[in-house]
Each structure stands twice: as structure tokens, then as C-alpha cells.
Structure 1
């Protein structure tokens, strides 16, 4: 009865009639379950180990603090009003449920510029184009030109296996000429698509188009490697239009928190989850003091690396899945600069520069355009690169970001002010960025989380096919709420009100 990806407020029939539910974790999934269950008449208690809500939905601002397992506590020195998103930073236009909660909670959104042909590819290596910043539009349009030229020639010479009529050939050639910017002879010779070395202007200023990079140089310089061709235009979740919450993504979490007065206990570190005959018992510490709470159901949104270290009596299938589903290693660093040189000097407004070094990606802010100062994400890396960078001290991470970033933007050296870095796989109560599944584990381990273990239900991005996205938290929350509500409303239909409910 649950509509798929509903872009409307959640509405289920029946009442929870004051039944009690413990929710573990005050991230987006946990707070959304509490929000929706409360509207249905349930009594919710949310336990959160951190001293803040939001979980991985976290924006770094002046005064933000962070302590990892391998580094001392750092405090953000960003100027008032500046921020960067340490966790999720983008909302796809087709994630209707995320947008619905922004609408319902009154969180304003703005365009997030994820695709910017004016940003760069930077490949360290030995090729003719290596160690140079190359505009993305140059690489994309040169390659479109060369590939369509080769295909057009092959079609002209009847070298394709496909049987084509003369009319078909003409239509395909017309398309290839348009797609690749080929001339009348079906040759690629650069065009205004790849930009100008001298911009057109008034009077006798037609503009000058640069010669294309040669195909050999593009190949030998590594600019066609997977480091650069996981491009946003081809990835469903990253296609424009994209959005972000104004002022920081954790404004979504803050809006949810306001809907749950008195329900969230921060600093509550869970140590044990036990399914009993008719209840769930959770043990935790609060400010060092041991605590215990029981309720008629529990919704667990804790990341699996955290859950793996807790005492529980889950079934063997759930226990195995908790221990064997890996989480990605990933990290970000925010760099504050005195001047938005990427806009003033290089006309880069939003978007991403891709590299093959330890930075992996540089994100340019999609807010406060033409402002005085700004914060860009100096690296966003994954897997082995994130693991390597995560082992560095805070100062060494900063030095790495500045050293490698200066190869692309020499302005770093004179404009840099402050940094703040987060390695999610070294962050207590997360220990990873998001869950990773293979085709095989989707058919085995994953299935353990999409049904309850007695009175414990699971939610969070790891219980969806929307891993790493806020939509995963929201979708899973609605599913958990619907499942819990179905359990109790169905039982009231089956048993007299005076009958004690079974497990």
C-alpha cells in the first residue's frame, strides 16, 4: 500500500495509540521515522551517540568540531556565513521524496551546478598534455569530434556490420556531423564548442579558436582514463538539474530536529540491543551513566560498522550481514580562500575538476557567486586514496590539498586561509561513507535488512538501492514506518484490546 517515491506528505490510516518505539540514530533516517511515527500517534525516543543530529548529513561552519580515531579535535575557523558540506551535497531532480521533505519542512533549495564544462581535467604523467589543466569542454568536444569522424569514415566505406540503406547512411552522417562538429568533408577541425583563446567582442574581434588537442596526446596523457570518464552527464543520479539546501545540507536535519521536541537524547551511546518476548531492550550510556530503555518496537538506523561492535541477539542472517557488508572509505577537505579566484580569474562557477592524483575531485561552490570569500572542497576522494590521505595528520592533509591543488590553481599559495578535513571511515559513530553491495550480496546479505528481526526494524541508506544518497534515508524511513504501523494496526484487528500482544 506504500506508493513508490511519493512526492507528497506521508499519510497512513489508523493510529499508533501511544505505542512506544525506540529509534537508534538521529540521522535523516532516524529523525524521519520519529517524525512520521509521531504523526501517527506513537511515542518515540531517539538515541543519538553524537552531540548533534544529522549523522552524515553535516555541514561545516564556524565553530564546528570533529574528532577522528587518529587525530586530535579540530575546530573550524571558517568565517561567519561560510560553510561546506562534509557529507551529502547534491539532490537529484528525480529524488522526489527528498524534495518533498524540503517542501514539507520549509527548507529552501537552490540550483547545484554539478556539470561545468569550464572546470578542468588534470592528469599527472608523462604525456604532452599531462601536468596541465585542460578545460573539460576541450577534452569532451575533441573526443566527440575524433570519434564521430572515425565512425563517419567507417560508414562511408561500408565497414560496419550493420546493413544500412543509402537513406540511413545519410541520416547517420548528418547526425555525426552535428554531434562531432565535423566539416563538410566529415573531418574534425575544432570549433567554438571547445572555447576560444581570444574571446569574440565588439568591432573587429571575431575571436580565435584554439587548435584541437591531438587524439594521440589525449590518449597518451591519460585524459581518457576512468579517472575522468565517470562523467556526470552519463550518471543518472548526477544529471542536471540538481539542487542543494540553501545555507548547508544539514538545514534539512535541523528542520527535522525542530519537529521532535524532547524526543532526542544526544550523547546516548548504545551498547546493547535485545529482542525480548514482547519488547526490545536497549542499553546505553548517557554522560557516562548506564541507562536502559524498553519499547514495543525498535527502528535501528545505525551504520553497520557501528552495529557490528554492539551486543545484540539478532538472527544469524542479520548478524552475518552486519559483519560482512563493507563501507566505502572516503574523505573531504574544505579550503577557505580570501578571494573567489576560480570565479574571478578562471570563470568557474560551480562544477567539479577531476584529477588522477590523491585529490580525485575539487568541488567549486554553487552558492554566493561573486562573493568576497569562498570555500571549495579541496579533495573528495575514495577507497585507497581516501585511506592513504586519512592516515595523514590534519596539517599534512592540508599540505597535500594545497600542494596538489596549486598545480591547477597557483592562486592557492597567496589566497588560502583555513582548512577543515573529514575522513568518514575514521569518524566515530560512522566508520565509513556508505554501504557497498555487489550483485551477489544484494541477493544474500542485503535481504537480511529489508525485513524485521522480531521487533527490530532496520532503516538507513544501507537498506535501500539508493546508497550514499539522502533519498535512501528518506525512502527507508517511510518503509520502516509503514512496516511498524502495519504490525500494530493488524494486531489490533486480530486481538481484543485487553489481550497482551505477542512477539
Structure 2
């Protein structure tokens, strides 16, 4: 009864009147659910504990504030017009539903440059190439050359335990020569692929190509470790083309908020969720004043570490899942600089520098190219590194980002102006970046959220296979809206699958 593809305006048959729905959380999932339900005639109330909407879809701007559990309140001193995305910053081209809502809500998008061969790999260590910034294109092309050369030699020597015809061998060798940039003798020599030490120009300036790094140096310097190869060209969700909301990813959340006038209550801290006969009762407080709401159903989009601390009468399966699904520890810091030295001095326009130290990644902005000032994401780290950095004071985080970042960009010292850091696992009403599942917990804990617990339904990235992505919020909201609407219209509707990641 539903159209076959999800990337379109949501259209469910039937309308209702007089049904009340409480939605917990004004992140993308909660607001999308409210947006779609109100179209169908439901009366919705969205309760949000923060004093802002958007949840983890948050762009830090001038005046933004953050209160973590172990640090004083910080207020952003970024210049007017500058920002960085503290939460999601990228939209894959195949997340159709995310792009659909940008289109439907009138949120302009622009290209996000996620893959930049001109950014760096930086490995702290004792190898010949350690403690040096190496252009990504140098590492990638040298390794392609060495590996394809070895494979070509093995084929020539019939050292592969593979039965191939002479024609097949010829085709594979042709491919290897093209892929690795091998010469006529099937040997790897440096080429323009890896860049120039002297750029070509007019007149007698053919350009000068540097010798390749040796395979031994690449290996010993740790540049082939997972720190550097869990990167975009190998990861489905990070392959180009990618997009971002123009002016900040929170513009998507703001556009949803505009569609919900009078529906969202901020600073509403929920303390209890109770299934009652034929409905739901939710207790909450606004600035310390206790209040209570009843409704026909509830959609809970709260992150599970937050929900775990709220009184409820869920079934044992759901309660166990709420308590035992872990969330990743992760953090970012935005660093404002008085000039865009990465563009002016080093020709880096967007993309990511990867390190094996506590920074993990440095993100270069994919907006306002050639502008006067800019904001780098000075670190984006996870797990133990995020835990270690998150335990620092705000000033210590800044000092760490500047100290380690200066090893790559010595311009930091003279160009830095201000910073703002976010540790999501220490942020109230989030308490983590996104849900983490294993193969086993997908078969047990995850399934607890696939169906309602009496009158309480669940949505959010933790109820999808699109964890950490805005797509998860949108996909889950649509599925849950379809389930709620089926309940109250007594129709057996089935949420469609497009057979691809459509968020």
C-alpha cells in the first residue's frame, strides 16, 4: 500500500483525529516523526531536555554553549558566520532519504570534500618517515606501485596458484601496469601521480618528480597501519560524492523545527515513562517544575544511556537492551584560525589528515574556500583516545590539539584564535556518540526495539543498521510513523525497503 522507494514525500493512506502522541527527544528522529504524524492528523507533543533542538545534529557557532558532566560551561567565541559541525558533518550520495528531506524542507546542500589526496598522513614513531607529514597521494601511489609490481612479477614467474590462459595473464598484466603506474618492464618508478617537488610551469619548467618512498620506510614508519587505511575510498558510506547542509548541518534540524510550531517543549527533562491502560503517562520537569502528560502512544528517541536512567515499566527484554547496548566515546574540537593557511600555504581544500596520535583526524572545511578565516576540526577521535582526551580540562584539550597539530602545521602557533571542544560521551542527554552493535547483539538486544513495548515505540539511529548517520534517524522515524499509523487505522501496512541504504 506504500510506494516502493523511500526517497519521496511520505504518503500513508488514511487520516486520524483525536489521537495524541508524546515524542521524547527533539533530534532528527523525533522531529521527523512529529512532522509526518501531524500531516496525518495526530496531535503531537515533543519533549526535549536541552534548551535547543537537534540533539547530536549540532553546529557550533558564536554563542553556542556546552555543559559537560565534568567541565564548566563553555561559550563559543567563534566569529560571526564561522561554525563547525560537532555532530554529523557528511551526507553520502546514496543516503537518499536524507537528501530527500533536504529537498522537501528547502535546505540547500553543497559538496563535502571527504577524499583529498593532498592532505597528510602523520605517523609518530621511529621509522624513516615517522614524524613527517606525508601527502596521502604519495603513500597511496607508492604502495599501489610496489604491490602491483610484486603481483606482476609473481604472474610472470607463474608463482600464483591460479589457472589462467595466456590471454587472461595479458589482461591482468595490462591492468596492473595501469593501476600501479608500472613502466614497460613492469617496474614501479615514481610518476606525476604522486605529485611534484617542483611544479611544472611555463617555459623551461617541466616539473620535478621526487623519488618514491621505499617500501621498507613505508612499512617501518607505520604508514600502512589501520590508523591510515580505514579511510574513505574503502568505506561505502564515505565514498564520494558526499554533501553537507550549506551553512551548517543543524540547518536541517532548524528547518524541521519550523514545521512544528508550538509542538516542541525544550528544557523538559523526562523522569518517568509508564505504559498505562490504553495509553502512556510521561512525567517530566521544566526548570524544576514537575509536569505530567498522557497520550495514546509514545515514540521514544532518547539515546539508550539516557533512557537507562529514566524510570519505566518496559518489558524485561527492552529494559535489558536499554541497559546493555554500549555507545561509542567520541569527541571533536573546533579551532578557529585568523587565516586559512592550509589553503594558502599547503593547497589543502577540504579532506582529512590522518594520524596515529590522540588527534586521530584533522578535518579541513569544505566551505568558504579562499575566505579570510576558517575553522578546522582539530581532532576527531574515538574509544580510548576520546576517553583520554575527554578527561582533560577544556584548556588541556586545546593545548593538546595545538601541540599535536603543530607537528603537522607549524602555522598553528601564529594563526590560532579560539577553540570549542565537545566530548559526546560526557554530554548530558547524549552520553555517547552512537550505538555499537556486534553480530550477536544484533540478534538479541537490537531486536528488542523493532516492535513497540505496549504503547511505547522506539526510533533513532540505534534502531537501524545506519548507526551514526542522520539517515538512521530519518529511516527509523518513517518506519515508526508507519507502525503507529497502522495501529490506529487498523491497517496492516508494511514499511518499504528499497534494497539499498536509502537514508
Asked if these proteins are the same fold (TM beyond 0.5), I'd say yes
Q: Which deviations, in whole Å up to 9, do the C-alpha atoms of 1:430-479 show, x marking residues without a partner?
A: 00000000000000000000110000000000000000000000000000
| Distance of 1:480 and 1:376 partners within structure 2 | 37
In structure 1, the residue matched to 2:496 is none
Deviation of 1:231 (Å): 1.6
2:326 corresponds to which residue? 326
Q: Is the counterpart of residue 123 in structure 1 residue 123 in structure 2?
A: yes
CA distance in 2, matches of 1:3, 1:232: 33
Tell me the equivalent position of 1:41: 41
Q: Matched residues in 2 for 1:406 and 1:318: separation? A: 47
- SS of the residue corresponding to residue 198 of structure 1 reads coil
Question: How far did 1:4 drift?
Answer: 6.3
2:236 pairs with 1:249: no
**1:498 alignment counterpart:** none
- Per-residue deviation, 1:400: 0.1
Equivalence for 1:496: none
Give 1:240's aligned residue. 240
1:25-36 aligned within 5 A: 25-36=25-36
Q: Which residue of 2 aligns with 1:366?
A: 366
Q: Which residue of 2 aligns with 1:452?
A: 452
Matched residues in 2 for 1:184 and 1:474: separation? 52
Cα distance in 1 between the residues matched to 2:74 and 2:284? 27
Kindly indicate whether residue 432 of structure 2 is the aligned counterpart of residue 432 of structure 1. yes
In the TM superposition, residue 6 of structure 1 has moved relative to its aligned partner by 1.4
1:160 equivalent to 2:165? Answer no
The alignment partner of 2:372 has SS state of coil
| Moved segments of 4+, more than 4 Å | 1-5
Partner Cα separation in structure 2 for residue 443 and residue 231 of structure 1: 28
Note the C-alpha offset of 1:2.
4.9
- Report the counterpart of residue 146 of structure 2 in structure 1: 146
1:18, distance to aligned residue in structure 2 (A): 2.7
Native 8 Å contact 1:2 1:482 kept in 2: no
User: Cα deviation per residue 1:112-150 (whole Å; 9 max; x = unaligned)?
Assistant: 000000000000000000000000000000000000000
Q: Secondary structure at the match of 1:130?
A: coil
Q: Which runs of 5+ in 2 are unaligned?
A: 493-503
The alignment of Structure 1 onto Structure 2 pairs a total of residues equal to: 493
Question: TM-score, structure 1 length as denominator?
Answer: 0.97
Partner SS for 1:376: strand
Assess if the C-alpha contact under 8 Å between 2:49 and 2:266 holds in 1.
yes
- Taking only aligned residues, the RMSD between alpha carbons, in angstroms, comes to 1.1
Query: Is 1:23 the counterpart of 2:23 in the alignment?
Result: yes
Whether the aligned pair in 1 keeps the contact of 2:2 and 2:11 (CA below 8 Å) is no
- The question of whether the paired residues in 2 share the 8 Å contact of 1:5 and 1:97 is answered with no
Report if the CA contact (8 A) 1:146-1:188 is conserved: yes
SS class of match (2:126)? coil
Q: Tell me which residue corresponds to 1:402.
A: 402
Query: Could you say if the C-alpha distance between residues 90 and 293 of structure 1 is closer, same or farther in structure 2, counting changes exceeding 3 Å?
Result: same
Aligned to 2:80: 80
TM-score between both structures, scaled by the size of structure 2:
0.97
SS state of the match for residue 343, structure 2?
helix
Q: 1:121 to 1:491 in 2, by over 3 A?
A: closer
Partner of 1:341: 341
- 8 Å CA contact 1:340–1:372 kept in 2: the answer is yes
2:82 is the alignment partner of 1:60: no
